[in-house]
Amino acid sequence: MSAEAAGPVLSWAPLAWLTLAPILTPLGFGLLLLWAWPRRVQVGLALAGTLATLAFAAGLLWATSGGAVLVGALGGWPAPFGIVMTADRLSAWMSVLAAVSAVLATWQAAADPDPVREKHHLFPLMQFLFAGVQLSFLTGDLFNLFVAFEVMLVASYALAVLGSTREQLREGFRYIVMNLAASALLVVTCGLTYGVLGTLNFAHLAQRSAELGPNATVTSVGVLLLVVFAAKGALFPLGFWLPGTYPALPPAVGTFFAAVLTKVGIYALIRVFTTVFTQEPGLTSALLLGLGSVTMLYGAFGMASQREWRRILSFAVVSSVGYLAFGLGLGTPEAVRASVAYLAVSVLVTTALFAIATVAERASGTRLVRARGMIDFLPLLAGCFLLCALTVAGLPPSGGFLAKYALVRAGLGQGSALALVAVGSALLSSLITLYAMLNVWRGFFWGKHPTWMPVYRVPRPLRVAAYAATALVAGLTLFAGPLFAQAEATAAELSTPERYIRGVLGDGPVVIPLPPTTPEAP
């Protein structure tokens, strides 16, 4: 599809401030929350911060819905010379999904008092984490993506070990070492990229890469970035740390980690391999298809082998990033459209399932899924879990079915041997996932509840958080038409990177701007 066919390119200067608003809002509220406010005020400020971030992210999505590329140049220096925040349809979409998950995670934290962790700045750390995630989606260059990872990870390191249990320290250590190694490789790759292409701005990188054409050195840099972002996105075998780390986190923090953090790595893969390195996609596409196939199966078998709520769901997160790598590896507009739709499904259903797991663990007093007969005490929660289980497994009429069907169809349409292997892995993974989720249903909700096992009261706001998240999952089915329309428009933009380049750099050649003149003294 040509750039013209996908609609006009707009760089909408009057609304450029919107690119900074979803980053500065949680950052500002995080700083405000460092004061020793009473708990009620802290909860109010934390919820206000996430709701304001969601409002700004929704405004960003509205502003980019007509094809606009918003560019906010810090200090007035234009791209590629200054630091720019950019938002196209993909960035705005990810910003909204992250903000929705942040609202639900904060609600969950507010509904489940934890005096020890709150005393050690749980709420401000969560806000700093939200700010880092938003910066990852809205930055316009590779080095500031590294900075965004560090802002996000410094907050996540603290949240991962907050509480100082033995399990948290052990799993937090693995998480920290793995991410530090990935960050070190990213900063080295930034240096190599600058040395080869002379810039780090995404739009300018795309322009320089196109000028050089197919080039072994550029492809090598692309493969290095693929390794870094695969580690951040927890693709097999680089995601070995995830199934042990997420169950050790505080429940609300674990919900946001599971729903969004791996998607930051997937977003970076989509941005880099649909915008920048588009000249020689054969090797990276094959790698993504291979990694995606293995990751889907690894996650599904992991789900079937576990007996604890959060360990099962953590492997579901691993499997979901495999599906996203599969779609990106196919590389066709149909596959990218399916991946963008699946991103929304994965973020929302993961948020809902971790919120459901929190309620289930609190009600049964155990992490295990072998409580039996809990449907008598939590019938609405059982219905919510069933809907989410169908969505994760990809059965009709759920939104997960529609997204997975689109991915499989795109794989069959592409038709290469690797694509067909990936299709087979996706179908087998879905069957195993269905088996694992039905095992959870049978073990926890079905049957007769043992009389010796107590059932504990769960705060109503905590249950409402799970119900609200599940309502959003149901909305994916009810509003599948608008969801896929949004995904199709996003895929159309990604398949014409010239639009993004023109939006950020303008139509003319890149020229070094003159320094501002100072008036002569009288």
Q: Is the pLDDT reported for residue 519 higher than 70?
A: no
For the chain, how many helices (H) and strands (E)? 21, 2
- More confident: 430 or 165: 430
> Average pLDDT for residues 299-313, to the nearest whole number?
95
Cis peptide before 461 (omega within 30 of 0): no
Q: Is the pLDDT reported for residue 317 higher than 90?
A: yes
Q: How far apart, in Å, are the Cα atoms of 425 and each of 20, 294, 307, 431?
A: 40, 8, 23, 10
Per-residue pLDDT, 514: 57
- More confident: 335 or 77: 335
> Average pLDDT for residues 425-444, to the nearest whole number?
95
Q: Is the pLDDT reported for residue 234 higher than 50?
A: yes
**pLDDT band at residue 158 using 50, 70 and 90 as cut-offs:** confident
Closest CA to 229 of 290, 197, 270: 270
Q: Is the pLDDT reported for residue 503 higher than 50?
A: yes
> Average pLDDT for residues 361-389, to the nearest whole number?
93
Residue 85: its H or E element? strand 84-87
Q: Is the pLDDT reported for residue 1 higher than 50?
A: no
HEC string for 158-220: HHHHCCCCHHHHHHHHHHHHHHHHHHHHHHHHHHHHHHHHCCCEHHHHHHHHHHHCCCHHHHH
Q: Is the pLDDT reported for residue 276 higher than 50?
A: yes
Integer Cα distance of 84 and 120 in angstroms: 34
Per-residue pLDDT, 281: 76
Per-residue pLDDT, 119: 87
Contact between 356 and 274 (Cβ < 8 Å):
no
Per-residue pLDDT, 3: 44
- How many alpha carbons lie under 13 Å from residue 265 in its C-beta half-sphere? 31
> Average pLDDT for residues 18-31, to the nearest whole number?
94
Helix axes 480-494, 89-111, angle to 10 degrees: 130
> Average pLDDT for residues 5-17, to the nearest whole number?
58
Contacts of 394 (CB under 8 A, 6+ apart): 400, 401, 403, 404, 405, 430, 433
> Average pLDDT for residues 265-285, to the nearest whole number?
88
- More confident: 77 or 268: 268
Contacts of 460 (CB under 8 A, 6+ apart): none
Per-residue pLDDT, 280: 74
**pLDDT band at residue 11 using 50, 70 and 90 as cut-offs:** low
**pLDDT band at residue 15 using 50, 70 and 90 as cut-offs:** confident
Per-residue pLDDT, 6: 45
Per-residue pLDDT, 509: 64
Per the DSSP assignment, residues forming a β-bridge with 139 are: 85
**Residue type for position 298:** Y
- More confident: 220 or 517: 220
Contact between 323 and 404 (Cβ < 8 Å):
yes
Q: Is the pLDDT reported for residue 2 higher than 50?
A: no
Per-residue pLDDT, 513: 59
Q: 177-217: per-residue pLDDT in tens? A: 888 899 999 999 999 999 998 899 999 999 888 888 888 88
**pLDDT band at residue 246 using 50, 70 and 90 as cut-offs:** confident
Integer Cα distance of 192 and 218 in angstroms: 10
Per-residue pLDDT, 508: 67
Integer Cα distance of 21 and 26 in angstroms: 9
Q: Is the pLDDT reported for residue 4 higher than 50?
A: no
Mean pLDDT, the chain, rounded, equals 89
3-state secondary structure of 67: coil
Q: Is the pLDDT reported for residue 355 higher than 50?
A: yes
3-state secondary structure of 398: coil
Contact between 106 and 125 (Cβ < 8 Å):
no
**DSSP state at residue 432:** H
**Residue type for position 411:** G
Q: 80-117: per-residue pLDDT in tens? A: 888 899 999 999 999 999 999 999 999 999 998 888 88
Integer Cα distance of 35 and 361 in angstroms: 32
Q: Is the pLDDT reported for residue 7 higher than 50?
A: no
Integer Cα distance of 342 and 347 in angstroms: 9
Q: 64-74: per-residue pLDDT in tens? A: 988 888 988 88
Q: Where are the domains of the chain?
A: 15-505
